[in-house]
Amino acid sequence: MWVVKLGGSLLGKPELKAWLSLLARQSDGRIVIVPGGGVFADAVRNAQPVGGYDDATAHHMALLAMEQYGLVMKSLQPELAMASSELEIAERSWQHRAIVWMPSRMVLADEAIPMNWDVTSDSLAAWLAGKIGADRLVLVKHAECAEQPLPILRLVEEGVLDTRFAEFAASLACPIHVIDKSGSAGFSAALAGGPAPARAF
């Protein structure tokens, strides 16, 4: 199973439809998509000072923002399946479908996950990868990092990854990749088991 986080920066871009089409076509039950928060999470963050709600409430709302993006993905690619629990992920996998993770149910059930803005969809993707024993974690962003092993601490310092990502990724045994939103061709080759461009995998 591969966990693939599609960043919110893809919203409204042609690359998003390309990724969703690819994942739906080639997944065969091996892909769980983690939606970013994007503009939906930005709305929660921007409204917090005005609304006066606490970080725990903002955390819950940001999870729902990820689910809003997930619903957009489902609208753009109806062949995707939705899942909100480990059991549902397994069931959709058995159906040989690409899965969009709806995170609020699982994340809110784990009290060890900090309820603040230090944890974003990047860290939650790493958390899910550990939870389901993923074979790879792929973060699709506006820019890639071809270095392996991934220089996580440097990317955290540069703001590419959130401040808690290193903590959530520390226990992962699988490779972690940060690839550009235009890197779907290399991803496709890797998923198919064939040779892939070095810059992607």
3-state secondary structure of 35: strand
> Which single residue is written with the structure tokens 């957009």?
72
Partners of 116 in the β-ladder: none
Q: Is it the case that residue 196 has pLDDT exceeding 50? A: no
What does DSSP assign to residue 145? B
Q: What is the pLDDT of residues 171-188, one digit of tens each?
A: 899 999 999 888 787 788
Q: What is the pLDDT of residues 26-82, one digit of tens each?
A: 999 999 999 999 999 999 999 999 999 999 999 999 999 999 999 999 999 999 999
Cα–Cα dist 182/140, whole Å: 9
By CB atoms closer than 10 A (0-12, 13-18, 19+), residue 83 is: buried
Average pLDDT, rounded, for the chain: 91
Q: What is the pLDDT of residues 112-135, one digit of tens each?
A: 999 999 999 999 999 999 999 999
Its pTM stands at: 0.92
DSSP assignment of 51-114 equals H---HHHHHHHHHHHHHHHHHHHHHH-TT-EEESSHHHHHHHHHTT--EEE--HHHHHT-TTS-
CA-wise closest residue to 178 among 125, 141, 130, 136: 141
Domains annotated on the chain, with CATH: 2-191 (3.40.1160.10)
